Structure 1
Amino acid sequence: MQPDLSYILTHLGEDRELYFGAVAPPIVQTSNFAFKTVAEMRNVFQDEMSEYVYSRGLNPTVDILRKKLAALDGAEDCLVFNSGAAAIFAGVLAFVKSGDHIISVEKPYSWAQKMFDVVLPRFGVTTTYVDGRTLESFEAARQPNTSFIYLESPNSWNYAIQPLAQVAQLAKQHNITTLIDNSYCSPLYQRPIELGIDLVMQTATKYISGHSDTLGGLLTGSHSRIKQIFDSEYLNIGSGIQPFNAWLLLRGLRTLPARIDRITRSTQKVLHFFKQHPAIDSFLFPLDPSFPQYALAREQMQGACGLITISLTGGTEEKIIRFCESLKRFLMAVSWGGHESLVIPKCAGLPEGNFDAANPEHQWIRVYVGLEEPEYLIEDLEQALNAINT
């Protein structure tokens, strides 16, 4: 954990003397900013990232958030978007051109994969998907025109991990830009820039917000890379976050360490329950010694929390559905990182009738542990597991 964490979350970027000494920053809810002279306006038009002109670009409330998020990642700069999907889109689009080749980890976030499979091929950009758990898979996939590597470590279902420092070194040798989705760990549990990754994305909707009441995405990296994105994709697409949503994310940041710490402790208790219960056939959690990449997880990550993937003993589709629909204290929903505990079965993403009991992935159920008391959650899990056998 960063030694200046308390300073970053409480004081960095907060010029309270400029807004009446208010402890919480104001929401500067304006579209436009005025100038006193033509010269001032002309200078800003030459570089819109140098001063406030229009909240599609820079905004004072958003800037406080940018400074904190960049500092948390150990980055020079940050841009905040209205969703994680928007951040991924801009971060990739800014660094590829027609005829380029991308290497991506297999089965990435759905909207990243749609960009690779549907949008970018229209402009002559191709993508090769790799397992990603070894450096060799990236070396084998690299082509002379490879310009971008997309990482997701850990991913959000089986928590596959990439050797980030090794991949970053390979990419730098060949002038390839790297971007990682770090939503699983947050900057408290993994700092990819220190491992050599160029751009770090997080879906701020999750742990950064923590309240399930706003969307957001962010990119951190060097000032030159962030400015390249700002001057083109960020301003052109118009996907910057709005001041009120930025303010909600600032509010969420205040309690990020406390929430992460509580969720981590509760997750361990729920994991222990799963390990002991005969109705659980298997589980996946990256910082459990049984995890296939446990050593690498310990090396790269400072912690893990919230998400556990389980499979039921004799997991038919009927059992999975009955278990999920029997839960009373877990909401069935996508995402994670909020105060509420969630569950999502992998089979919900399959067309009806396509469930294959022989496919381990079809049996996966992802459980997110929120801020409720762990005993309260375990009671619910136990009654739902008992229900599948009655």
Structure 2
Amino acid sequence: MSDFQSIATMMAAVLDDEAGSITPPIVQTSLFAFENYQAFEDRMAGRTNQSVYTRVQNPTVAAFEGLMAKAEGGEAAVGFASGIAAITSTLLAFVKPGSKIACVEHVYPDTYRFMEQILRPFGIEVSYYPVEDFEANADLLANFDIAYLESPSSVVFTPLNLALVAEHAKRHDTLTIIDNSWATPVFQNPLAQGIDIVVHSASKYISGHSDTVAGVTISSQEHIAAIRDLTLPLLGAKLAPFEAFLLTRGLRTLNARMMQHQATANLFVDRLAALPQVRKINSPGANAVPGLTGRSGLMSVEFDDSVDIPKFSDALSHFRLGVSWGGFESLILPARVGLAQAGPKNSMQAFGVSPNLVRLNLGLEDAEDLWADFEKALNQSAT
């Protein structure tokens, strides 16, 4: 299990800073020099671990990676320039032509596009299954090399019994990878439940301030070494020192922020359930599945046909229209916008998301103010 509660306490010692800095210093350099020839040769031969080049190694980035490994209960972590960079670099480190991936339906749209537009043309077979199939069919993964999971899944937020799926996967020697951005280490620890690799879009709750684009992967030393040796240096999607500094700042307040997000989400779930215009609320709470200990502020609501979605969206004051989530500000993303997205088919289109569905990111504003805004807009949108 992770020891998330102790992270704030250990912050001051992260970089062993002799100057006594309260925050980890930003080591803003592209390269690191060596004192002599022997030190240089020893590092290049792998006999030492001195930093060489910030594209693959940097002390500020390493500090963040160490904290994320501890938070998720992993042995090591590697940071990336975006969440999709973490996902793609992790997958590419473990696939080859002919590999077979079992992926959950309603997966993050860009993950879906990556699998369909890059992996499939390179001879990697991807099959999509409902969450329920991963749980109920113990032999679903018998012929798959990788199971790519989200719990809960994107947009419709269906949670997954991770321990059960991990048990099925290990029986068939299938590598399991999960995106844990929604729950964060505060509410879910997939590695402790037997999942092999955890990825995060650190742009979301880990950052918490909508000012950073980043990703991170956490796993065993062996799996992280495979990523560091292959896709991190050769694809070059490295995490920058300043972004790592901002993410470390975000980790300091993650627990407090997630508790506030949860409190607001609980209020909305209770009140939404009483509204006649609401067909369905997609928001798994604590103990919805084993190992899920809380509810984040990201949910979706499916309205009936009496709600004019564009009119509702434009009537909101505190909720802004926008992609992403996890910051202070509250946002909405109507499914109709996602379904209208130009370009190759995305996962919303592929898996039949209702056009009456609206995704809500409940931020850190006053919960009663948010609810009053939501209710007013809903009343104004009646057709």
Q: Structure 2 counterpart of 1:347, which letter?
A: R
Q: 1:94 aligns to what SS in structure 2? A: helix
Mapping of 1:55-134 within 5 angstroms? 55-134=54-133
**1:303 deviation in Å?**
0.4
Q: Does 1:323 align with 2:312?
A: yes
Q: Is the 8 A contact 1:315 1:363 kept in 2?
A: no
Q: Structure 1 counterpart of 2:237, which letter?
A: S
Q: Structure 1 counterpart of 2:295, which letter?
A: A
Question: Partners of 2:126 and 2:358 in 1: how far apart?
Answer: 29
Compared CA separation, residues 29 and 112, structure 1 to 2 (3 A): same
Match of 2:304 in 1: 313
Match of 1:201 in 2: 199
Compared CA separation, residues 62 and 365, structure 1 to 2 (3 A): same
**1:334 deviation in Å?**
1.2
Q: Does 1:345 align with 2:334?
A: yes
Mapping of 1:182-201 within 5 angstroms? 182-201=180-199
Deviation per residue, 1:236-292 (Å, 9 max, x gap)? 11111100000010111111111111111111112222122333233222128xxxx
Question: Partners of 1:263 and 1:49 in 2: how far apart?
Answer: 43
- The count of corresponding residues between Structure 1 and Structure 2 is 377
Match of 1:292 in 2: none
Q: Structure 2 counterpart of 1:375, which letter?
A: E
Match of 1:175 in 2: 173
Q: 1:161 aligns to what SS in structure 2? A: coil
**1:19 deviation in Å?**
4.1
Deviation per residue, 1:25-58 (Å, 9 max, x gap)? 1100000101012121112213398220000011
Q: Structure 2 counterpart of 1:314, which letter?
A: D
Q: Which runs of 5+ in 1 are unaligned?
A: 289-294
**1:165 deviation in Å?**
1.4
Compared CA separation, residues 323 and 174, structure 1 to 2 (3 A): same
Percent sequence identity over matched residues?
Answer: 35
Question: Partners of 2:185 and 2:135 in 1: how far apart?
Answer: 27
**1:350 deviation in Å?**
2.1
Question: Partners of 2:328 and 2:356 in 1: how far apart?
Answer: 26
Question: Partners of 1:140 and 1:224 in 2: how far apart?
Answer: 26
Question: Partners of 2:127 and 2:100 in 1: how far apart?
Answer: 8
Q: 1:299 aligns to what SS in structure 2? A: coil
Compared CA separation, residues 321 and 215, structure 1 to 2 (3 A): same
Aligned CA RMSD, in angstroms, stands at: 2.4
Q: Structure 2 counterpart of 1:336, which letter?
A: W
Question: Partners of 2:124 and 2:100 in 1: how far apart?
Answer: 6
Compared CA separation, residues 312 and 48, structure 1 to 2 (3 A): farther
Q: 2:354 aligns to what SS in structure 1? A: helix
Question: Partners of 2:312 and 2:257 in 1: how far apart?
Answer: 27
Match of 2:6 in 1: 7
**1:14 deviation in Å?**
2.8
Compared CA separation, residues 192 and 49, structure 1 to 2 (3 A): farther
**1:309 deviation in Å?**
1.3
Deviation per residue, 1:175-228 (Å, 9 max, x gap)? 221100011100010000011100001111111100000011110000011011
Compared CA separation, residues 257 and 15, structure 1 to 2 (3 A): closer
Match of 2:355 in 1: 362
Q: Does 1:265 align with 2:263?
A: yes
Q: Which runs of 5+ in 2 are unaligned?
A: 342-347
Q: Structure 2 counterpart of 1:330, which letter?
A: F
TM-score normalised by length of structure 1: 0.90
Compared CA separation, residues 5 and 100, structure 1 to 2 (3 A): closer
Q: Is the 8 A contact 1:151 1:179 kept in 2?
A: yes
Compared CA separation, residues 88 and 20, structure 1 to 2 (3 A): same
Which structure has more RCO (C-alpha within 8 Å, separation ≥ 6)? 2
Deviation per residue, 1:114-145 (Å, 9 max, x gap)? 1211111232111111112244666554454x
Question: Partners of 2:206 and 2:311 in 1: how far apart?
Answer: 32
Question: Partners of 2:282 and 2:175 in 1: how far apart?
Answer: 30
Question: Partners of 1:138 and 1:114 in 2: how far apart?
Answer: 26
Q: 1:277 aligns to what SS in structure 2? A: coil
Match of 1:380 in 2: 373
Q: Structure 2 counterpart of 1:195, which letter?
A: Q
Question: Partners of 2:14 and 2:303 in 1: how far apart?
Answer: 53
Compared CA separation, residues 344 and 92, structure 1 to 2 (3 A): same
Q: Structure 2 counterpart of 1:122, which letter?
A: P
Q: 2:364 aligns to what SS in structure 1? A: coil
Q: Is the 8 A contact 1:48 1:57 kept in 2?
A: no
**1:12 deviation in Å?**
4.8
Q: Is the 8 A contact 1:76 1:222 kept in 2?
A: yes
Q: Is the 8 A contact 1:19 1:26 kept in 2?
A: no
Q: 2:146 aligns to what SS in structure 1? A: strand
